Structure 1
Amino acid sequence: MKKWCLMVVMLCLVPLTGAAEEISAHIQKQYQDLESFSSSFVQRLTNAATKEVEVRSGTITFAKPRRIRWETTEPEKELLLVGRDVVWDYFPDENVAYKYAVEQVLQSKTMLRFISGEANLQEDFVIENQGDDAGLIKLKLIPREPETNLVLAYIWVQPTTNMLGKVLVVDFFGNGNELELSNMVMNKALDPAIFTFTPPKGVDVEDASSS
């Protein structure tokens, strides 16, 4: 599977001060109340070995229950779509689409579980409030059961809007996945059709949904 974003997008209101447990409880409650959001993003993928940084940009749209449309527009197009039963990862320039069962993708503590609202901060992580960082509230998340693609994470919250502003996820090899969000719109009515996908004629489909 191509490297696509697995990231923390816990889009919610939080208090500016307080113990980590209190802050995480507010995050969890607000995320549970969130019905949908859309946002622009800039993503920076850092290779720990080479120090090379790949920059991506595009949009993210989420709607309950666990519907996600992650569309990268630069530097190359990619559509990652989590529907009711199937996950599609489509690369139009390569004329190929990968098909997965939803549980294959969401069964581990990946960033898509955060986006879908299925991750539990207090159960899954040891949380440390690191205070103000250049005007943002910074939380450190240490997985109670680390996995290869997630051994450490940080989130930053905008104090003026109480919304998530930036996320950094680190994998077992030290590679960094940093995400900055902007132009957020919450709880807007969305067309369910945007969370469906039919491969265009002639696209090569790699089906791993039954494996």
Structure 2
Amino acid sequence: MKSLLSGALVALSFFSVSALADDAEALKTKLAGLESFKAAFTQSVTDENGEVVHKATGNLTMARPDKLRWETQSPDETVLIADGSAVWHIDEWVEQVTVMSQAQAIDNNPMVLLTSNDDATWQQYTVNATQPNTFSVAAKAEGGQIRTLSLSFDDKGLANLVMLDSQGQQSAINFSQREFNTPIFPSAFIADVPESFMVDDQRP
């Protein structure tokens, strides 16, 4: 009886691993055809009790591999640019720029899969299809700022993201005015820093 139970557990474990691998491949396939993506977004952040603590609107531009531009228009004007080697956070209100290495900024961050084609990077995350066209992604290693990332797709492509962070806050991001695989000028991923801004360069 004990050997039968052990055999069943091994079979179940193998099935679970295979299913997760299939889910990862399904998500990778969906994102593989996404060479570039532009959209307007609305963001709503809720705390552990479901209370809304922050709302924002802006625009997202991304290109594979490894490039992202996140512009917030309200309530404050900020720009975050990942150029492939560094991440630049430009805060217009306080006239300050923070720069860090991109490898450091995306460590254990499931968002990296949106722009990464690297198989070794994908192997650092667990992907689970929670419902048709919706995938939950989590880093295998502990210590990341984002616990889980949920990506949902419709007939056109990526439709929304939901992030649960290490503090228990949930950020729901919905996209509109979506453009898939349209040409994007390289200048979109170059940080234009005014000379008057203070620069905090945290790169090693």
Structure with more helix by fraction: 2
Matched residue SS, 1:117 = coil
Task: Encode CA deviations 1:77-128: one digit per residue, 9 max, x unaligned.
Answer: 110001143211001111111111222212x121441232257697344444
Please name the residue that 1:202 is paired with. 196
Please name the residue that 1:117 is paired with. 116
Please name the residue that 2:159 is paired with. 165
Q: Structure 1-normalised TM-score? A: 0.75
> What is the alpha-carbon distance in structure 2 between the residues aligned to residue 91 and residue 145 of structure 1?
31
> What is the alpha-carbon distance in structure 2 between the residues aligned to residue 93 and residue 85 of structure 1?
25
What letter matches 1:169 in structure 2?
M
What letter matches 1:175 in structure 2?
Q
* Residue 55 in structure 1 maps to residue 55 in structure 2: yes
Distance 1:97 1:123, change over 3 A: same
CA contact (8 A) 2:99 2:200 kept: yes
CA contact (8 A) 1:45 1:178 kept: yes
Distance 1:87 1:139, change over 3 A: closer
| Alignment length (residue pairs) | 185
Superposed CA RMSD: 2.5
Q: Residue 146 of structure 2: which of 145, 150, 156 is its match?
A: 150
> What is the alpha-carbon distance in structure 2 between the residues aligned to residue 30 and residue 155 of structure 1?
11
Shift of 1:180: 1.0
Name structure 1 gaps, 5 residues minimum. Answer: 1-18
CA contact (8 A) 1:46 1:177 kept: yes
Please name the residue that 1:91 is paired with. 91
CA contact (8 A) 2:110 2:137 kept: no
What letter matches 1:130 in structure 2?
T
Moved over 4 A (4+): 118-122
Q: Which has the higher contact order (CA 8 A, sep 6+)?
A: 1
Q: Structure 2-normalised TM-score? A: 0.77
Name structure 2 gaps, 5 residues minimum. Answer: 1-18
User: Rg larger in 1 or in 2?
Assistant: 2
> What is the alpha-carbon distance in structure 2 between the residues aligned to residue 131 and residue 49 of structure 1?
25
